[in-house]
Amino acid sequence: MTTIKDIAKAANVSPATVSRVINDGPKVGLKTREHVKQVMKTMGYRPNINARALVNKKSTSLGLVLAELMDPFFATYANAIETVARESNSQLLMSSGSSSASSELDAIETLLDHRVKAMIVHSKFLDDKTLVDIARTVPGFVLINRYIEAISERCVWLDNVLGGYKMAEHVVNLGHRKIAVVSSDFDIEDPRDRLQGIRNFLAEHHIPLPDSHIAISSPNQQGGEIAMRELLASQTEFTAVLAYNDAMASGVMNTLYDHNMDVPNDVSVMGFDDVILAQYCRPKLTTMHYPIRLMAATAATIAMDLAQEKAPSEERSYKFIPTIMARHSTKKI
Amino acid sequence: MTTIKDIAKAANVSPATVSRVINDGPKVGLKTREHVKQVMKTMGYRPNINARALVNKKSTSLGLVLAELMDPFFATYANAIETVARESNSQLLMSSGSSSASSELDAIETLLDHRVKAMIVHSKFLDDKTLVDIARTVPGFVLINRYIEAISERCVWLDNVLGGYKMAEHVVNLGHRKIAVVSSDFDIEDPRDRLQGIRNFLAEHHIPLPDSHIAISSPNQQGGEIAMRELLASQTEFTAVLAYNDAMASGVMNTLYDHNMDVPNDVSVMGFDDVILAQYCRPKLTTMHYPIRLMAATAATIAMDLAQEKAPSEERSYKFIPTIMARHSTKKI
DNA sequence: TTGTAAGCGTTATCAG
DNA sequence: CTGATAACGCTTACAA
């Protein structure tokens, strides 16, 4: 690998000058600059990022911690963030697969070892204190899909309670009164929040939601199928099903079809997230749109800004609002 | 950030000794070792990966170049590779979004700048020569989903021709004789190969495949819908449709339904890839299983091995074979 | 405008 | 078994 010294020698200048050329550094004679550039090109020079990171005490890469790359939900995140990263010439250093506090911490620390300039973290298992502590020592630390009061200006999150509220509102407006809920057995805030939102709306409108109308299973298609089978087996009466996410909703529809019930004619079904799957379903799924791309871009942007200790970003709050995406799986009763 | 020197000072040893402890280096007194470890723990020492990479002339991260993270197909790749990477304590440095020769080259060069110890590259646009040249200078360079004779032992690829062949065989065995094909307009080898495989089988069995039975569009659900509409509009007669991939197949089914045709009773539909979507479809899609996870793991493993200049991996060939995944979208005629 | 030299945090080669 | 010391490739005062 040719180094800056090789270039310097070949171009008859000092390494410092080469460095200046590389970084568009200040005050370099036009002809030396051109000359050096020429030499770099012909010799095929490529800077050693690690050496640079060492002296700068910061690498140019952007760290990303996600739970699961295969999940389209997270894939969308990764994709959007990668786009922003590339635009600012940084690489993405990924750590996925976290589904426990210790693995989450592990992922974060590895990123720290790499001295990433900024990091975007999806963490559902680490406690607030740990996260806040890390945030204090890492300027460009941003949390997605989570809200912690103490570092609110570094949290990019979705109002899940409102999401649940709007789901209930949507089907009730369509005339449904017998509502069933299919929720996730993951022990994190999201399902609790969404369910709470549903409860809030229903309570306000004096519509009951007995426990027998709530089935819980894993947050994927199979979980949806299982949950719906339970509901059916217990003779629960309902005309609308609110699912925790699109995958579960798709499972719900499968089970319904297997029992010769039509969606949306016999039962209305709603999902949450609006991942690509929602459009691939048949009928296309009515769901809550989760502005993932927007949130990802926001997170990436503020992470980079924070990293450069830019303006304190006016103490804004980055709460996002889910919106109804009405498609064909819900219908007026 | 506390450095190795800080630890050395605090522990009353030399930096060299600390380094030895960190790397389980040879010959360190048991008590010094324990003592140093203790100090590191209490001072919360974290090694600077960049410094390490600089002196070692190699970083510990594994580079990955993919076309598109959001595509479930690539997400599966990324996920599987990340798993292998983590098991060998390396981070994933991602570069996605490439869809042109120049952006592919860009991604590779960035990874090179990071001195990644190995890299796994999905490239459909760079020409053979360029890739071969890079491979020569980078020991741990592995190509996925592409075969280049000159570096065959670094190629992990799928036999797409055989895949097409098997698709045709499957529906013909089911009794279909009027077959339509929905292919991709992407100018890469894969669609050509799959189509060639279909042609091969059909020719062997004297079943015609006139151009009018082939529709081409973009390799996603919408493309499938469009292509199928064209076929229908031109009054083409067929009882089976072979799609380029699962997404197109799903689009094909949508259009068929919109025209009141049932799958599989009126028409059999086959996809390719066996991405998660295939199971989320209704009816569940019969498709060609693409052993992505296995291929990804293989690629990651040989990339790491190659990087350590291990045994020349016995000059094996890493060709993988797609297999029929019979589900419910195809039926005997 | 350009060069010299110190130093970023590690590892590795020698001595001791 | 342990300690100096010299790299690794680059950036950045400080000089010239």
Same domain, A148 and A117: yes
Same domain, A138 and A82: yes
- Of the segments A209-223, A304-318, B24-38, which one has the largest average pLDDT value? A209-223
Please give the backbone phi and psi of residue A63, each rounded to the nearest 5 degrees, phi first: -85, 145
Amino acid A35 CA to nucleotide D7 C1' distance, rounded Å: 29
Mean pLDDT across A308-322: 77
| DSSP 8-state symbol, A71 | S
Same domain, B226 and B275: yes
Please give the backbone phi and psi of residue A305, each rounded to the nearest 5 degrees, phi first: -60, -50
Q: Are A70 and B77 within 8 A, CB to CB?
A: no
Q: Rounded to whole angstroms, how far apart are CA atoms B115 and B306?
A: 15
pLDDT at position B17 is 93
Choose among A283, A213, A211, A285: nearest CA to A248.
A285
Q: In 3-state terms, what secondary structure has residue A58?
A: coil
Contact A112/B46, CB-based, under 8 Å? yes
Shortest Cα–Cα distance, A195 to chain B (Å): 25
Note the pLDDT tens digit of each residue in A29-75.
888 999 999 999 999 999 999 999 999 999 999 999 998 888 888 98
Same domain, B285 and B296: no
Q: Is B232 a residue whose pLDDT tops 90? A: yes
Query: How large is the C-alpha radius of gyration of chain B?
Result: 26
Can you state the percent helix, strand and coil of chain B, rounding each to 5?
50, 15, 35
Shortest CB distance from B50 goes to which of A54, A78, A109?
A54
pLDDT at position A217 is 98
End-to-end CA distance of chain A: 71
Mean pLDDT across B84-96: 87
Mean pLDDT across B244-265: 96
Q: Are A124 and B124 within 8 A, CB to CB?
A: no
Note the pLDDT tens digit of each residue in B312-323.
656 578 999 999
- Which helix (H) or strand (E) covers residue B134, if one does? helix B128-137
The structure tokens 């900024």 sit at A118
CB neighbourhood size of B89 (10 A): 8
Size of chain A, expressed as the number of residues it contains: 333
Give contacts of B254 with chain A, Cβ < 8 Å.
Answer: 282
Q: Which residues fall within 8 angstroms of residue A31, CB to CB, at 6 or more apart?
A: none
- Alpha carbon separation from A326 to A243, A257, B173 (Å, rounded): 15, 21, 42
| DSSP 8-state symbol, A150 | G
Q: Which nucleotide is nearest to B16 (CA to C1')?
A: D3
Which runs of consecutive H residues, i.e. helices, occur in chain A? 4-11, 15-22, 30-43, 49-56, 72-87, 101-113, 128-137, 160-173, 189-204, 221-233, 246-258, 277-280, 292-307
Q: Rounded to whole angstroms, how far apart are CA atoms B62 and B91?
A: 6
Q: Are B162 and B322 within 8 A, CB to CB?
A: yes
Same domain, B175 and B283: yes
Q: Is A98 a residue whose pLDDT tops 90? A: no
Same domain, A74 and A108: yes
Cα-Cα-Cα-Cα dihedral sign, residues B245, B251, B255, B256: positive
Please check whether residue B229 lies inside any domain of the structure: yes
The structure tokens 């594994």 sit at B62
Nearest chain A residue (CA) to B94: A92
Give me the half-sphere count of Cα atoms (radius 13 Å) on the Cβ side of residue A91. Answer: 33
**Chain B interface, best mutation among A22, A90, A91, A277, by max B CB count within 10 A:** A91
Q: Rounded to whole angstroms, how far apart are CA atoms A60 and A321?
A: 32
Shortest CB distance from A53 goes to which of B50, B92, B279?
B50
Please check whether residue A148 lies inside any domain of the structure: yes
Please check whether residue A328 lies inside any domain of the structure: no
Please check whether residue B37 lies inside any domain of the structure: yes
Shortest CB distance from B257 goes to which of A49, A112, A282?
A282
Contact A282/B115, CB-based, under 8 Å? no
Shortest Cα–Cα distance, A130 to chain B (Å): 14
Q: Are B21 and B36 within 8 A, CB to CB?
A: yes
Shortest Cα–Cα distance, B204 to chain A (Å): 36
Structure tokens at A79: 């994709």
Give contacts of B69 with chain A, Cβ < 8 Å.
Answer: 69, 75, 78-79, 82
Phi-psi region of A242 (alpha: psi -120 to 50; beta: other; left: phi over 0): beta
Please check whether residue A255 lies inside any domain of the structure: yes
Q: Is A314 a residue whose pLDDT tops 70? A: no
Give contacts of B75 with chain A, Cβ < 8 Å.
Answer: 69-70, 72, 75
Amino acid A289 CA to nucleotide C16 C1' distance, rounded Å: 70
Q: Rounded to whole angstroms, how far apart are CA atoms B135 and B131?
A: 6
Choose among B145, B174, B149: nearest CA to B160.
B145
Shortest CB distance from B70 goes to which of A48, A75, A95?
A75
Number of domains in chain B: 3
Q: Which nucleotide is nearest to B20 (CA to C1')?
A: C11
Structure tokens at B47: 């090694």
Shortest CB distance from A94 goes to which of B71, B92, B110?
B92
Same domain, B237 and B118: no
Mean pLDDT across A112-120: 93
pLDDT at position B190 is 96
Nearest protein residue, CA measured to C1' of D12: A16
Mean pLDDT across A275-279: 90
End-to-end CA distance of chain B: 71
- Order of strands, sheet of B240-243, starting from the edge strand that comes earlier in the sequence: B214-217, B179-184, B240-243, B268-270
Q: Give me the CATH number covering residue B51.
A: 1.10.260.40
Q: Give me the CATH number covering residue A115.
A: 3.40.50.2300
Q: What proportion of chain B, given as a percentage, has pLDDT over 90?
A: 80
Please check whether residue B329 lies inside any domain of the structure: no
Same domain, A46 and A77: no
Note the pLDDT tens digit of each residue in B259-313.
999 999 999 999 999 998 898 888 999 999 999 999 999 999 999 988 887 666 5
Give contacts of B120 with chain A, Cβ < 8 Å.
Answer: none
Shortest Cα–Cα distance, A326 to chain B (Å): 18
pLDDT at position A249 is 97
Range(s) of the domain holding residue B272: 160-290
Shortest Cα–Cα distance, B58 to chain A (Å): 9
Mean pLDDT taken over chain A: 93
Q: Which residues fall within 8 angstroms of residue A185, CB to CB, at 6 or more apart?
A: A191, A216, A217, A218, A219, A223
Same domain, A206 and A283: yes
Domain boundary among B56, B72, B89: B56
Q: Rounded to whole angstroms, how far apart are CA atoms B35 and B28?
A: 11
Cα-Cα-Cα-Cα dihedral sign, residues A44, A50, A53, A58: positive
Q: Are A62 and A304 within 8 A, CB to CB?
A: yes
Q: Where does the pLDDT of residue A313 fall: very low under 50, low under 70, confident under 90, or very high at 90 and above?
A: low
Same domain, A298 and A286: no
Strand ranges (E), B145-235? 155-158, 179-184, 214-217
Protein residues contacting strand C, judged by Cβ under 7 Å: A 12-17, 20, 27-29, 31-33, 51, 54-55, 57; B 1, 3-5, 15-16, 19, 22-23, 25, 45-48, 51-52, 54-56
Note the pLDDT tens digit of each residue in B204-222.
999 999 999 999 999 999 9
Please give the backbone phi and psi of residue B80, each rounded to the nearest 5 degrees, phi first: -65, -40
- Protein-contacted positions of strand D (CB under 7 Å): 1-5, 7-13
Please check whether residue A196 lies inside any domain of the structure: yes
Please check whether residue B77 lies inside any domain of the structure: yes
Structure tokens at B67: 């076309």
Using a 10 angstrom Cβ sphere, with 0-12 exposed, 13-18 middle and 19 or more buried, the burial of residue B268 is: buried
Q: Print burial letters for A251-282: b (CB count within 10 Å at least 16), e (below 16).
A: bbbbbbeeeeeebbeebbbbbbbbbbbbbbbb
Q: Rounded to whole angstroms, how far apart are CA atoms B121 and B13?
A: 44
pTM recorded for the entire structure: 0.90
Give contacts of A1 with chain B, Cβ < 8 Å.
Answer: 57
Give contacts of A246 with chain B, Cβ < 8 Å.
Answer: none
Same domain, B37 and B101: no
Q: Which residues fall within 8 angstroms of residue A13, CB to CB, at 6 or more apart?
A: A32, A35, A36
Least confident of A13-27, A36-50, A308-322: A308-322
Same domain, B191 and B81: no
Choose among A21, A46, A45, A15: nearest CA to A35.
A21
- Which helix (H) or strand (E) covers residue B288, if one does? strand B287-289
Q: In 3-state terms, what secondary structure has residue A215?
A: strand
